[in-house]
Amino acid sequence: MAKRFELLVFDWDGTLLDSAGAIVDAIKAACRDLDLPEPPDERARHVIGLGLGDALRHAVPELSEQHYPQMVDRYRHHYLSRDHELQLFAGAIELIAELSEAGFLLAVATGKSRMGLDRALKTSGLGRYFKASRCADECFSKPHPQMLEELMLEFAVPPERTLMIGDTTHDLQMARNAGVAALAVSYGAHPAAALDALEPLARLPKVEELAAWLRMHA
């Protein structure tokens, strides 16, 4: 059967890497370091997927602009202290290997920095499968469509042959802004109802179900 999509673009945190809890914990720990009130879990989880500067501005709106460098520094300290403990979701390695073997072009669009993504691709062993990537310190932060637009231009793949896969409303809104179809996974950062409101092609609660959907429909 002919492929519906040629380019599959994955978010990283909360979609392939089980890191949402560590991100929330790092935001809260950074707030404690600066004697700021900790944001509620819902607000901290909502900013996952944004570029770090945008994420912290949303998560900690009471922080004055001059203190953002300190906040960024403390966040990175706490996140990196747990970075080595983080694991890919069960089945993620097998899924990406299968999709690569099937001939899909694979890419990443993430709120991580370039340094952070390169480290994650290396330590996870997935770097060899992804042909390109875009990060929040290279492009406008999600939900701006720049990451997807640049990836489609790089591979000369039109929007109708591109699929975005992510766990946040930022991913789905970016896809919508780029004119690209999207799949949601509900095992990551954002609640199912918020994902459904943006009308993805499907919302999958497990990696195994994501793999099954892609085999049947992609």
Average pLDDT, the chain: 94
User: How far is it, in rounded angstroms, from Cα 153 to Cα 77?
Assistant: 35
Domain carrying residue 135: 7-18+87-217
Regarding whether 116 and 26 lie in a shared domain, the answer is no
Q: Assign residue 43 the CATH number of its domain.
A: 1.10.150
pLDDT per position as a tens digit, 37-46: 999 999 999 9
For the chain, the distance separating the N- and C-terminal CA atoms, rounded to the nearest angstrom, is: 10
Question: Is the CB of residue 31 less than 8 Å from the CB of residue 37?
Answer: yes
Average pLDDT for 135-158:
97
Q: According to the model, what pLDDT value does residue 217 have?
A: 96
Residue 30, pLDDT above cutoff 80:
yes
* pLDDT band at 112; cut points 50, 70, 90: very high
Q: What pTM was computed for the model? A: 0.93
How far, CA to CA in Å, does 173 sit from each of 122, 139, 177?
28, 16, 6
The total number of structural domains in the chain stands at 2
Regarding whether 25 and 59 lie in a shared domain, the answer is yes
Q: Which residues are catalytic?
A: 11, 13
Regarding whether 203 and 150 lie in a shared domain, the answer is yes
Residue 2, domain member (yes or no): no
How far, CA to CA in Å, does 156 sit from each of 8, 147, 151, 153?
13, 14, 8, 5
Q: Which residues, in sequence order, are bridge partners of residue 162?
A: 7
Region of 204 (left: φ > 0; alpha: ψ -120 to 50; beta: rest) is beta
Q: Assign residue 138 the CATH number of its domain.
A: 3.40.50.1000
Look at 54 and 198; give whichever has higher pLDDT. 198
Q: Residue for token digits 């996870």?
A: 124
Burial 26-45 (b: 16+ CB within 10 A, else e): bbbbbbeeeeeebbeeeebb
User: How far is it, in rounded angstroms, from Cα 69 to Cα 195?
Assistant: 32
Q: According to the model, what pLDDT value does residue 31 have?
A: 93
Question: Is the CB of residue 204 less than 8 Å from the CB of residue 188?
Answer: no
User: How far is it, in rounded angstroms, from Cα 105 to Cα 94?
Assistant: 16
pLDDT per position as a tens digit, 64-87: 888 888 998 999 999 989 888 899
Give the domain-ending residue among 83, 104, 122.
83
Measuring CA to CA, which residue among 193, 205, 195, 190 is closest to residue 43?
A: 190
Edge-to-edge strand ranges of the sheet holding 203-204? 132-134, 105-109, 7-10, 162-166, 181-185, 203-204
Regarding whether 106 and 69 lie in a shared domain, the answer is no
Residue 1, domain member (yes or no): no
Measuring CA to CA, which residue among 148, 143, 13 is closest to residue 82?
A: 13
* pLDDT band at 2; cut points 50, 70, 90: low
Residue 176, pLDDT above cutoff 90:
yes
SS3 (DSSP) at 35: coil
* pLDDT band at 181; cut points 50, 70, 90: very high
H or E stretch at 102: none
Six-digit token string for 177: 């802004």
